[in-house]
Amino acid sequence: ELLVPHMPTIRVPRSGDRVYKSECAFSYDSPNSEGGLYVCMNTFLAFGREHVERHFRKTGQSVYMHLKRHVREKVRGASGGALPKRRNSKIFLDLDTDDDLNSDDYEYEDEAKLVIFPEHHEIALPNIEELPALVTIACDAVLSSKSPYRKQDPDAWGGELPVSKCANNLTQLDNGVRIPPSGWKCGRCDLRENLWLNLTDGSVLCGKWSSDSSGGNGHALEHYRDTGYPLAVKLGTITPDGADVYSFQEEEPVSDPHLGRHLAHFGIDMLHTHGTENGLRDNDLRPRVSEWEVIQESGTKLKPMYGPGYTGLRNLGNSGYLSSVMQAVFSIPEFQRA
């Protein structure tokens, strides 16, 4: 009942949400710190003891999950040896164990509870009997979410992609389209990189602008909006082991258990294809698009845009320092007039 007024602020993290539960947004505080770590149940940002109250005052967000890893020296048996090791079901936080502490000499115990500010009311977790189901679901999702720092590790991605719901009954049009092994180009613009083969009609269209320095005009997504054809494969990523498959319908990278058959429909023999960069190895003398040209969006028609969603500078990956220089320069009246 303490939670009732705050229920609208408690969210269940969705697949796109990053849950920060290993380190404070402002300091090095972690669940290992003395004050533990507070995870905001609305934004899933984490705060140490000295920073959480400020977040509460600024945002009014009252409910946090408090995570704390207790470390204590192991109790020694009478013989002086360590007590027999218990299977450690008490550890559930996804944390690196501190290398300074020899884990044979210490035991760890993780604790999670809900804390409501400003009174600092505490509710131990799990508490299925008393908490509303939504809160229990939200807490479970926060606890089981992967640290975003690990989420970006491409190896960790590998085997975990969900199987697309669209893969089993995917319709493939018998339109005679055959995809050549190289020399692709977007069907709606001049882009020759970041191209996606739609597995329903064999159309080859460019992807979206993304932070991995490949440009795109989003024609593949546009095509999905027009047609509803859900799955696309990134050209150049096809190897005998698989390929990058994206589901527009599920809005995430997926795996396609019938990928070999789906590609063969458009004349691609997956087992004899090796990731290429659009045939640049062949006699194509076109210079490789440099990162600078991608950043300038050279070759694409640019329209001046402003309004919601177009304000600010997008981080392209470690480009924040450039953005801050740009903003400083743009604040100079002489430059604005030039």
Q: How far is residue 327's CA from residue 269's CA, in Å, rounded to a whole number? A: 49
Which one of 5, 7, 27, 165 is in contact with Zn ion (CB under 5 A)? 27
Q: How far is residue 54's CA from residue 247's CA, in Å, rounded to a whole number? A: 40
Q: Report if residue 217 touches Zn ion, rule: CB under 5 A.
A: yes
Among the candidate windows 26-34, 295-303, 306-314, 322-330, which touches Zn ion by CB under 5 A? 26-34
CB 197 within 8 A of CB 232: yes
Which one of 3, 19, 24, 39 is in contact with Zn ion (CB under 5 A)? 24
Pick 46 or 270: Cβ nearer Zn ion: 46
Pick 167 or 232: Cβ nearer Zn ion: 232
Q: Report if residue 11 touches Zn ion, rule: CB under 5 A.
A: no
Q: How many CB atoms lie within 10 A of CB 198?
A: 24
Q: Report if residue 48 touches Zn ion, rule: CB under 5 A.
A: yes
Pick 26 or 106: Cβ nearer Zn ion: 26
Minimum Å gap between C-beta 190 and Zn ion is: 8
Q: Report if residue 209 touches Zn ion, rule: CB under 5 A.
A: no
Three-state secondary structure call for residue 333: helix
Q: How far is residue 188's CA from residue 205's CA, in Å, rounded to a whole number? A: 7
Q: Report if residue 235 touches Zn ion, rule: CB under 5 A.
A: no
Q: Report if residue 185 touches Zn ion, rule: CB under 5 A.
A: no
Distances in Å between the Cα of 325 and the Cα atoms of 199, 210, 316, 328 are 43, 22, 15, 5
Pick 98 or 140: Cβ nearer Zn ion: 98
Q: How many CB atoms lie within 10 A of CB 48?
A: 21
Minimum Å gap between C-beta 219 and Zn ion is: 4
Residue closest to Zn ion (Cβ): 48
**In this structure, which amino acid lies at residue 283?**
N
Minimum Å gap between C-beta 213 and Zn ion is: 17
Show Cβ contacts of residue 250 under 8 Å, excluding neighbours closer than 6 positions: 162, 164, 165, 166, 230
Pick 44 or 164: Cβ nearer Zn ion: 44
Pick 25 or 173: Cβ nearer Zn ion: 25
Q: Report if residue 186 touches Zn ion, rule: CB under 5 A.
A: yes
Show Cβ contacts of residue 204 under 8 Å, excluding neighbours closer than 6 positions: 179, 184, 185, 186, 187, 195, 196, 197, 198, 235
CB 123 within 8 A of CB 113: yes
266: tokens are: 């458009």
Minimum Å gap between C-beta 170 and Zn ion is: 23
- Mask: binding to Zn ion, 50-79, rule CB under 5 A, as x and -? -x----------------------------
Site residues (vs Zn ion, CB under 5 A): 24, 26-27, 29, 48, 51, 186, 188-189, 191, 206, 217, 219
